[in-house]
């Protein structure tokens, strides 16, 4: 079906009314109270439930909660997560912790902050934090490795505490 294009009216073809309208909008905003922030000295306080960068967390005894199940890697729409599981042999130095990931990376340039990884995780090991301010000078720098993800995530004291000594 062909859609007929409406011709511009004389008023729309004139240059000056659009310029004057632009000045009117500028003048209106000029006298209004400004909300511009002096970033990075001032930062936006994000609301509760804000979905920022995904980080890994430790349990209250400092042990990694992730069990390398790879559900988050599977569910991640842009394939931003890469996990290398440790395989069948547990690491004796880790005590009761079995199957902690050997490698865990999140490409923050690929991540779309959807929160699927957090929803899929059975161990409550990955959370979208309220961090929206992260930069890097190169692409490799924006691929966060395991230790950095754990450092940024910190400790979560919740009910899912798999490796607790009974």
Q: Which of 57, 59, 72, 153 binds ligand SF4 (CB under 6 A)?
A: 72
Rounded least distance, CB 45 to ligand SF4, Å: 21
Q: Among residue numbers 52 through 71, which ones bind ligand SF4 (CB under 6 A)?
A: 54, 66-71
CA gyration radius, the chain: 25
Q: What is the rounded distance in angstroms from the CA atom of residue 132 to the CA atom of residue 130?
A: 6
Cα 155 to chain centroid, rounded = 18
| Residue 153 interacts with ligand SF4 (CB under 6 A): yes or no | no
* Residue from 74, 73, 57, 62 nearest 146 by CA: 57
Q: Give me the 85-124 binding string for ligand SF4, x by CB under 6 A, dash otherwise.
A: ---------------------x----xxxxxxx--xx-x-
Q: What is the rounded distance in angstroms from the CA atom of residue 72 to the CA atom of residue 126?
A: 9
Rounded least distance, CB 98 to ligand SF4, Å: 12
Rounded least distance, CB 47 to ligand SF4, Å: 18
Backbone angles phi, psi at 115, to 5 degrees: 85, 5
| For ligand SF4, the closer CB: 2 or 128 | 128
| For ligand SF4, the closer CB: 60 or 78 | 78
Neighbouring CB atoms inside 10 A of 98's CB total 15
């Amino acid at each position: 079906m062909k859609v007929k294009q409406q011709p511009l009216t004389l008023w729309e073809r004139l240059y000056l009314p659009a310029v004057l309208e632009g000045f009117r909008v500028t003048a209106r905003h000029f006298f209004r109270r400004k909300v511009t922030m002096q970033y990075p000295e001032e930062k936006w306080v994000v609301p509760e439930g804000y979905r920022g960068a995904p980080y890994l967390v430790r349990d209250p005894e400092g042990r990694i909660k992730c069990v390398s199940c790879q559900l988050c890697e599977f569910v991640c729409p842009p394939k931003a997560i890469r996990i290398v599981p440790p395989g069948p042999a547990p690491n004796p130095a880790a005590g009761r912790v079995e199957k902690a990931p050997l490698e865990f990376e999140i490409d923050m340039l690929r991540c779309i902050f959807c929160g699927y990884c957090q929803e899929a995780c059975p161990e409550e090991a990955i959370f979208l934090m309220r961090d929206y301010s992260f930069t890097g000078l190169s692409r490799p720098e924006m691929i966060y490795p395991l230790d950095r993800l754990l450092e940024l995530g910190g400790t979560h004291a919740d009910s899912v505490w798999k490796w607790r000594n009974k």
